[in-house]
Amino acid sequence: MSLADSLKAFKSERADVVSRNTAHSRPATTTPTQRTSTPKPSGANNDKRTHDAAFASSRLGGGVAGGEIMRLVVEAVQKLKDNDFKPLSWLELLRYMSLPLDLRGAKGEATFKRALQSHHRLQYLNARDSPDGQEIFRYKPLHPVTNGEELRDYLARLETAQGVPVKELKDGWPDCIPTLDRLESAGCILVSRKKDGTPHRVYPDNPHYHTTAPSKTKSEDPSTTSTQQVVQISPDFLTFYSNIRLPANDNDLRAELEKAGLTPTSAVREVSKGPLKKKERKRVDRKNAKKTNVHLAGVLKDYSKVKAAKAANG
């Protein structure tokens, strides 16, 4: 064998050895599309979570989202309000509602019932307290008033003088306007109205406070008929009060107030402005001021004594 053939055979054998050692020493390289994941510890649950399990923290019972529960509660509240404010049993309410699959069953229905019981516009009575022995729900309006007599009693119990907005009164008594008009004409309530005459707010009143007897009107509501006696006021006082006439215009009224020594609220307040004095600036005494250049005390010459001597000599 020639030298060239021996060299060729040696290189071929060397290449085979190198390729075998490389294959055993490191793993095969991964392609760009392959990904390696961190190994999980032994004993861990390797099952993939479902979509509902991943968002279980934001769910209510049965896997139903909180927004879905609130939608059902709002629908139930509107149903009780549209039922002429009559109560409905829990079973009747369930038959009316279209519960999703996750709420069907004892567990889901219990979750829905708890949401209804905690609503501030609903009243719940258990089977022991209800008259028919069933669990019932009733709509609770903003004000517990449904007729004229209840309105008078409710206004008398109010601790403030703010009255009751008619808009809120209609929440539990939609057709209250005719009764409000009759009670106002009988002197039982005071009604503030908007520019178009629509009742805006209701306040308590009493026929005893009126100097003339209110007109009696017959109606089905006994509270709209005034049967109370008006407090007797001295005729002399009524005559004196009736003879008082206010000035015809604002200028005359203002003149009468000034004649009586009173200041009208419409009077222009005159603010007296004194002579403006220029504020003199105070001169700051710097004798005790912080001294600078202390590190040059041995270099600079002190002329303070010379200055003091000149000031003494004048």
Is residue 43 assigned to a domain? no
pLDDT band of residue 177 (cuts 50, 70, 90) is very high
Structural domain ending residue among the three candidates 216, 233, 262 = 262
Average pLDDT value for the chain: 76
Convert the pLDDT of each residue in 127-159 to its tens digit: 777 777 888 898 989 998 989 999 999 999 999
**Are both 80 and 98 inside the same structural domain?**
yes
**Are both 251 and 155 inside the same structural domain?**
yes
Is residue 305 assigned to a domain? no
Is residue 291 assigned to a domain? no
The yes-or-no verdict on residue 309 having pLDDT over 50 is yes
pLDDT at 271: 64
Domain residue limits at 107: 60-139
DSSP sequence for 36-69:
--PPPPTT---SPPPHHHHTGGGEEGGGEEHHHH
Q: Please say whether the beta carbons of 204 and 239 come within 8 A.
A: no
**Are both 127 and 152 inside the same structural domain?**
no
**Are both 134 and 167 inside the same structural domain?**
no
Is residue 200 assigned to a domain? yes
**Are both 155 and 184 inside the same structural domain?**
yes
Convert the pLDDT of each residue in 29-54 to its tens digit: 545 445 555 555 554 454 454 444 44
**Are both 251 and 158 inside the same structural domain?**
yes
Most confident of 14-23, 58-67, 242-251: 242-251
Minimum mean pLDDT range among 52-56, 142-146, 174-178, 304-308: 52-56
pLDDT at 242: 86
**Are both 153 and 253 inside the same structural domain?**
yes
pLDDT at 95: 84
Structural domain ending residue among the three candidates 234, 262, 290 = 262
Is residue 239 assigned to a domain? yes
Structure tokens at 161: 């003088």
Q: In the chain, how long is the greatest CA-to-CA distance?
A: 157
**Are both 155 and 257 inside the same structural domain?**
yes
Minimum mean pLDDT range among 89-103, 154-168, 184-198, 248-262: 89-103
Is residue 252 assigned to a domain? yes
Residue 65 dihedral angles phi and psi, to the nearest 5°: -65, 150
Structural domain ending residue among the three candidates 245, 262, 279 = 262
Mean pLDDT confidence for 301-305: 77
User: End-to-end distance of the chain based on CA atoms, in angstroms?
Assistant: 131
pLDDT-above-90 percentage for the chain = 16
Q: Tokens 């060299």 label which residue?
A: 7
Strands 189-193 and 199-204: antiparallel
**Are both 64 and 117 inside the same structural domain?**
yes
Structure tokens at 201: 């707010």
pLDDT at 232: 67
The yes-or-no verdict on residue 10 having pLDDT over 90 is no
Report the predicted TM-score, pTM, of the whole model to 2 decimal places: 0.48
The yes-or-no verdict on residue 7 having pLDDT over 60 is yes
Q: How many domains does the chain have?
A: 2
**Are both 165 and 233 inside the same structural domain?**
yes
Reduced to 3 states (helix: H, G, I; strand: E, B; else coil), residue 305 is helix
**Are both 101 and 167 inside the same structural domain?**
no
**Are both 71 and 85 inside the same structural domain?**
yes
Residue with more model confidence, 86 or 233: 86
Is residue 311 assigned to a domain? no
pLDDT at 30: 47
Is residue 130 assigned to a domain? yes
Convert the pLDDT of each residue in 78-133 to its tens digit: 888 888 778 888 888 888 887 777 777 788 788 888 888 888 888 888 877 777 78
Q: What does the alpha-carbon distance between residue 22 and residue 9 come to, in Å, rounded to a whole number? A: 20
Most confident of 104-113, 158-167, 243-252: 158-167
